[in-house]
Amino acid sequence: MRLRNKPWADDYMREHDYIVVQEPFEMLGKWSELFKNPNAPLHLEIGSGKGQFIAGMGKQHNDINFVGIELVKSVIVGALKKVLDADVDNVRLVNEDAKDLRELFGENEIDHLYLNFSDPWPKNRHEKRRLTYHTFLDQYKKVLVPGGEITLKTDNKGLFEYSLISFSQYGMILEDVSVDLHADEDPLNVPTEYEEKFSAKGQPIYRCRARFK
């Protein structure tokens, strides 16, 4: 993704610091305190992009708290706008790198994790960068509650196949697999920006849900 300089982005995020958390590393173990209902489950999306999924999920599930992490500043401001437009108070955003997940979230702090259209890193030598590489699974397992689940959606067949194998080699249980999500017509599915784009081109959307033992 091309990085564009958006000098107003910092001001825009600071203006809405109740949504874009300014000191996220200080929230370790305390994320639920940021929400109106601190007892609600906490769901995390990694690589939220322009935020259509997390804003839509926030609207659909007002009994769940959501946090979205997005690395790229010029992209996360799009997510901030979506969350403001959706007028939801159960979504927070973090402009950080998910590689530092263990410094952001405490053990058992997250109830469910979403990976939507993550970068596929197709070259073998970039395997370690894939968000379903076993070192990432180690981190997810720690921040998730025991028996916590990951839902992954992608248009990328290679990443999907790789992720199924990686989950399985890690001893995770596959709860649900679809190789054509839109043909299966899940009424609760909230499409992401990438999902709409690829689906419009006629590409099938893959989805799976895997649970840690």
Which residues are catalytic, by number? 119
Residue 57 or 98 with smaller CB distance to ligand SAH: 98
Strands (DSSP E) along 28-129, which ranges?
42-46, 65-69, 91-94, 110-116
The footprint of ligand SAH (CB under 6 A) covers 1, 46-49, 69-72, 75, 97-99, 116-119, 192-195
Task: Please enumerate in sequence order all residues whose Cβ is within 8 A of that of 107, keeping only pairs 6 or more positions apart, or say none.
Answer: 142, 143
Determine contact, residues 78/53, Cβ cutoff 8 Å.
Answer: no
Sign of CA dihedral 116, 51, 88, 11: positive
Q: How many CB atoms lie within 10 A of CB 2?
A: 5
Q: Which is nearer to ligand SAH, 32 or 74 (CB)?
A: 74
Nearest distance from C-beta of residue 30 to ligand SAH, angstroms: 21
What is the C-alpha separation between 55 and 81, in angstroms, rounded? Answer: 9
Query: What minimum distance in Å lies between the beta carbon of 36 and ligand SAH?
Result: 25
Minimum CB separation from ligand SAH for residue 146, in Å? Answer: 25
Which residue, 194 or 206, is less far from ligand SAH as judged by CB? 194
